[in-house]
Structure 1
Amino acid sequence: MTALTDAATARVYKAHAKPAWRRFLLTREAAIIALLILVVVVALASVRNFDSPLTVTYLLRDIAPILLIALPMTLIIITEEIDLSVASIVGLSSVMTGLLTQSGVPFPLAALAAIAVGTVAGAFNGFLITVVGLPSLAVTIGTLALFRGIAVGLLGTTAITEFPEEWTDLAKANIPGTPIPVIMIPFVILAIIFAVLLHFTPFGRSLYAIGLSKEAAGFSGIDVGRTKFQLFVLSGAVSGFAGVYFTLLYSNARGDNAMGMELQVIAAVLLGGVSIFGGRGALHGVIAGVLLIGTLGSALRLASVSSDIINVITGLLLIVSVISSSLLAWLQVRRAAAIGKKKGRSAESADPA
């Protein structure tokens, strides 16, 4: 444990001792961005209608919920935790939006109530993990089924499809003069907030410290439990907002909305360079990872590739990402150990006594 911690510390110090251009260009995040650019160039050259403004619009609309949820998920995984209940919170908030709207509640109040429900669901996860002390994987697997069951139980097998037209039109609208959906405006605002929070504040640095060693972070004065609780609350709130958008986009409130989305979110976060073992990752890499998966899927669909093959390719990308991350970490530990042995031999040869 001590050797691994020392190696991780040496890696962090050495990384920040490098020139700025190396820290930004020779990284996994830069590799994902380069791969995204390559996929876009290849798709433009070989896939018909990929450069259509309509394609860009539908691509961004489809991945907008994943982009939103990936923001807090990045922070959670950096602390070596995980939240598998996000998609079921999307479904639960969608059902709450539909039921409240159907009962005559003004849509803005219904949307706020749905986001509040998502926030409470995230707080429930955080309570079980940080106060009760249960592992996040077990807790969120359980609440995934719990929240999904509540959503399906409230609405049954029916669907609510009547929503105010001005709100559904807004969810499907584009920024005037561009093919970019309006939903990208709140996403960009949230992305800036989360990026500043993660990369430019003491709170963000505490997340990396917790991911590297929660014991050391606790001894250094970081309230590990409160920090993780706040992250799960944020995850629930953003998932609730994504549920409201999902409902308006498809004009459909159902208990099984967003089924399986949690796997797409986690795949994009890991592909974007965040370590599943915590302590490493950057938000721009995650955004590039989501765009890469979305762009690749859109290009393959336009090329008449079946959804099964697309899922296989996405799964392979995720496996390669995790394996490469583990392999690089193992190589860094071995290299640090070899350097330590070499320095030890040099010290012995310099001092024969």
Structure 2
Amino acid sequence: MELRTIQAKKDFNYKTFFLQWEWLLILIFILVNILNANLSPYYMNVDNLRDATMGFLDKAFIVLPMVLVMILGEIDISVASTVALSSVIMADLYSHGVPMGLAILISLLVGTVCGLINGFLIVKFKELSSVIITLATMIIYRGIAYMLLEDQAKGQFPDWFSFFGWEYVGGIPFILIVFIVFAVVFGLLLHKTTFGRRIYAMGNNMTASRFSGIQVDKIKIIVFALTGLMAAVTAIFLTSRMGSTRPNVATGYELDVIAMVVLGGISTAGGKGRMIGAIIAVFLVGMLSYGLGLVNVPAQVLLIIIGLLLIFAVVIPKLKIKKLRKV
């Protein structure tokens, strides 16, 4: 009788390893830095590069849970409105005498509740797509923010609150340290836990996952709650950096976040992608924006460049699949 050997792991292949999307992102990131260094003599200043992270890392907190959402095959376009509502409620509570520490905690709770509502509606009304549901909640959350403050701004926070957005710990921006911690946590959650493996399984085949015993509804609600929570974290850092808030803060953040996630190699169909790709994309887009801003390149040009990169990110994997099918 012939013996058959089944390999539990594939042999390491250098060609496959270095053809991964993340390596191409690193190459683009290097090219962006070379371009920026040639455009402006001030770009390669270490202090400037360090401080530049303060300008784009606030929205990066939402990128982390959005990776989970999109691997599920879903999307959340209400995140910017959740940021606005969390920020406005925090400022409004403080202006009415609530201690700032408690106002921050309530802001985090508000963001989480917004995410829970999204998740509950998505699992309750399965016939509706997450785009439609989060579009509705996007309008509702932003509307509530306008009801609370109308078109006014609120600020005058305690001096210590500016620490979140502007201060350093050991010469490193506090916001960068916090982002690294959250990035490690979300990376481990996605790639090293049963919860993460179930997210991938659901993104590849939701029906099969349901019949295999995975609690798909519960996982969806948790993922959307995490997204709401991280939107509230963004609200805290953004409000701290601005020193005040208005109902229209974070407008357009949802598009920036989704662009970073897609550029990071996360499949829009679900089931594919890695956290590291999205993290690289955050710094790629952030540094590109910072470098072009130094030479006063119009924001419209930056949008065109990011749009071209997104097309590139979507087309290249499909070309690879077609090539493999021909072989």
Q: Does 1:293 pair with 2:290?
A: no
Residue 175 of structure 1 corresponds to: 169
Residue 67 of structure 2 corresponds to: 74
Q: Give the letter aligned to residue 28 of structure 2.
A: L
Residue 141 of structure 1 corresponds to: 135
Residue 152 of structure 1 corresponds to: 146
Aligned equivalent of 2:117, options 121, 124, 128: 124
Q: Give the letter aligned to residue 52 of structure 1.
A: N
Distance 1:279 1:18, change over 3 A: farther
Residue 193 of structure 2 corresponds to: 201
Q: Give the letter aligned to residue 151 of structure 1.
A: A
Aligned equivalent of 1:217, options 191, 195, 209: 209
Q: Which moved more, 1:283-292 or 1:163-172?
A: 163-172
Residue 238 of structure 2 corresponds to: 246
Write out per-residue CA displacement over residues 299-330 of structure 1, whole angstroms, 9 at most, x where no aligned residue. 11112211111111111211221222334344
Preserved contact between residue 164 and residue 237 of structure 2 (Cα < 8 Å): no
Preserved contact between residue 63 and residue 261 of structure 2 (Cα < 8 Å): yes
Q: Percent identity?
A: 37
Q: Does 1:161 pair with 2:134?
A: no
Q: Give the letter aligned to residue 155 of structure 1.
A: L
Write out per-residue CA displacement over residues 94-131 of structure 1, whole angstroms, 9 at most, x where no aligned residue. 10111011111111110010110000000000011012
Q: Which moved more, 1:36-45 or 1:144-153?
A: 36-45
Distance 1:41 1:213, change over 3 A: same
Residue 5 of structure 1 corresponds to: none
Q: Give the letter aligned to residue 110 of structure 2.
A: V
Once the two structures are TM-superposed, the CA of residue 24 in structure 1 deviates from its matched residue by 3.9
Output the CA distance in 2 between the equivalents of 1:57 and 1:99: 32
Q: Does 1:267 pair with 2:249?
A: no
Distance 1:66 1:25, change over 3 A: farther
Q: Does 1:104 pair with 2:100?
A: no
TM-score (norm: length of structure 2): 0.93
Preserved contact between residue 84 and residue 140 of structure 1 (Cα < 8 Å): yes
* SS across alignment from 2:155: coil
Preserved contact between residue 66 and residue 290 of structure 1 (Cα < 8 Å): no
Output the CA distance in 2 between the equivalents of 1:20 and 1:147: 48
TM-score (norm: length of structure 1): 0.86
Q: Which runs of 5+ in 2 are unaligned?
A: 1-6
Q: Give the letter aligned to residue 112 of structure 2.
A: T
Output the CA distance in 1 between the equivalents of 2:27 and 2:244: 37
Q: Does 1:33 pair with 2:48?
A: no
Write out per-residue CA displacement over residues 176-217 of structure 1, whole angstroms, 9 at most, x where no aligned residue. 3x3x31012221111111111111111111111111111121
* SS across alignment from 1:292: helix
Distance 1:214 1:191, change over 3 A: same
RMSD: 1.8
Q: Give the letter aligned to residue 90 of structure 2.
A: T
Q: Give the letter aligned to residue 166 of structure 2.
A: K
User: How many equivalent residue pairs?
Assistant: 319
Residue 328 of structure 1 corresponds to: 320
Output the CA distance in 2 between the equivalents of 1:22 and 1:294: 30
Q: Does 1:83 pair with 2:76?
A: yes
Q: Which moved more, 1:130-139 or 1:117-126?
A: 130-139
Output the CA distance in 2 between the equivalents of 1:62 and 1:27: 29
Q: Which moved more, 1:271-280 or 1:57-66?
A: 57-66
Q: Give the letter aligned to residue 121 of structure 1.
A: C
Q: Give the letter aligned to residue 92 of structure 1.
A: L
Output the CA distance in 2 between the equivalents of 1:142 and 1:52: 44
Preserved contact between residue 275 and residue 325 of structure 1 (Cα < 8 Å): no
Q: Give the letter aligned to residue 158 of structure 1.
A: Q
Q: Which runs of 5+ in 1 are unaligned?
A: 1-13, 339-353
Q: Give the letter aligned to residue 30 of structure 2.
A: I
Q: How does 1:309-348 map to 2 (within 5 A)?
A: 309-332=301-324, 334-335=325-326
Once the two structures are TM-superposed, the CA of residue 22 in structure 1 deviates from its matched residue by 4.5
